[in-house]
Amino acid sequence: MNDAKPRVVLGVGGGIAAYKACEVLRGLTESGHDVRVVPTEAALNFVGAATFEALSGNPVHTGVFTEVPEVQHVRAGKEADLVLVVPATANLLAKAAHGLADDLLTNTLLTARCPVAFFPAMHTEMWEHPATRDNVALLRSRGLVVTEPAAGRLTGVDTGKGRLADPAEIVDLARLLLAEPGALPRDLEGLRVVISAGGTREPLDPVRFLGNRSSGKQGFALARVAAQRGAEVTLVAGHTDELPSPAGATLQRVSTAEEMRKAVHAAAADADVVVMAAAVADFRPATLADHKIKKSEDSPDPVLTLDRNADILAELVRERRSGQIVVGFAAETGDENGSVLDHARAKLRRKGADLLVVNAVGDGKAFGTEDNAGWLLASDGTEQVISQGAKARLAATLWDAVTALIERRL
């Protein structure tokens, strides 16, 4: 019955973040995945098997001595399209790195031939311990995905690196790995990357602003994928939908185009790659009223005068340091003067960026949607079609193009 659905094994480690695995499970089943939950014994101290069974619709076991005729410890791993471990404790990472197999989950990890991704959650001291560092490096060297944890509130009052990535982010990355198993290599290690995202707001008076419909989803997906590919990421975000902060990235919030300009330039000063995915307002009200603008029967309705904002992308291109790669985005519609691609090619020439991601907009396309499609144009004239897919997939395609460009320049 579930045959056409991608099969995901969701391993759950024994940490307090195990309760968030329920949200990951929900996100996966609701987006059409057949999920089999394999917790460790310790995980069941935090979440009961009945919860996982009810949410997944599948039986839940921790050991290899149940359903013996089914040879579960071999089948679950072999038949899966993806194995996720949420949360991956220091203990589980150690066991996986050294091939220990003393329960159903660790057996499954040894028999899996599909992509395997660990989502760590532990105290900062444990994440930074040389034993864990070595285990993570060993697992990554074998091509397994060990994601960067988020920084923030841990169990109790302590904060630091080691917080489980947001469940929505885990689901997003899981879907990326199902669509493209090789999408998260550690090929951006040592690279400093700045990404702008979301829309800017230009205030008119204390309560009103000129804004736009950018959701920020594409910029956040770019940051998420770059951080998990090993880059040091600064995400400069204007106004966005409510989105999970990408684990492993540094998030800076700004509001106006001018604030974005300052933040992006400051971060770009020592960056290797700058991606302008933000929808920056081209104009701002020429005057900012210090009180709410009132309608009145006695005076004429106000007329809005606009001043032009700086073009951040053009400035970045002009001021770029040697070897720095600058990437622009173009949201285009075709008109009587040319097609979407005609306008995009002209914009790439005009702006002088190294790469331009082109989206066709209008009719509900691109803004706020989960999917994106378009073209990737390079300043050397190469053009690549980006087929319809999740924003994380477009992100992976862009980072592939960036690494190819860096290699060509070496």
Q: Which residues are annotated as a binding site for CTP?
A: 282, 292, 329, 347, 351
Asked if 205 is part of the footprint of ligand CTP (rule: CB under 6 A), the reply reads no
Contact positions with ligand CTP (CB under 6 A) in 301-320 = 309, 311-313
Rounded Cα gap, residues 302 and 320, in angstroms: 41
Contact positions with ligand CTP (CB under 6 A) in 57-76 = none
Hey, is 388 helix, strand or coil?
A: strand
Hey, is 225 helix, strand or coil?
A: helix
Hey, is 50 helix, strand or coil?
A: helix
Asked if 280 is part of the footprint of ligand CTP (rule: CB under 6 A), the reply reads yes
- Of 292, 301, 189, 196, nearest to 239 by C-alpha is 196
Cβ nearer to ligand CTP, comparing 19 with 283: 283
Give, in degrees to the nearest 5, the angle at Cα 64 between 63 and 68: 130
Residue 320: alpha-carbon gap to chain centroid: 26
- Locate tokens 């099969």: which residue? 7
Cβ nearer to ligand CTP, comparing 164 with 194: 194
Asked if 278 is part of the footprint of ligand CTP (rule: CB under 6 A), the reply reads yes
CB 240 within 8 A of CB 220: yes
Asked if 97 is part of the footprint of ligand CTP (rule: CB under 6 A), the reply reads no
The region of 149-157, 243-251, 326-334, 377-385 touching ligand CTP under the rule CB under 6 A is 326-334
Q: Which of 121, 276, 344, 377 binds ligand CTP (CB under 6 A)?
A: 276
Cβ nearer to ligand CTP, comparing 87 with 328: 328
- Locate tokens 């194995």: which residue? 83
Q: Which token pair is 72?
A: 């579960």
Asked if 282 is part of the footprint of ligand CTP (rule: CB under 6 A), the reply reads yes
**What's the one-letter identity of residue 410?**
L
Cβ nearer to ligand CTP, comparing 40 with 218: 218
Asked if 215 is part of the footprint of ligand CTP (rule: CB under 6 A), the reply reads no
* Least CB distance to ligand CTP at residue 341 (A): 14
Hey, is 228 helix, strand or coil?
A: helix
Residues 6+ apart with CB under 8 A from 88: 11, 13, 96, 118, 119, 120, 121, 146
Residue 212: active-site member: yes
The footprint of ligand CTP on this chain (CB under 6 A) covers a number of residues equal to 13
Q: Which residues are catalytic?
A: 212
Residues near ligand CTP (CB under 6 A): 257, 276, 278, 280, 282, 309, 311-313, 328-331
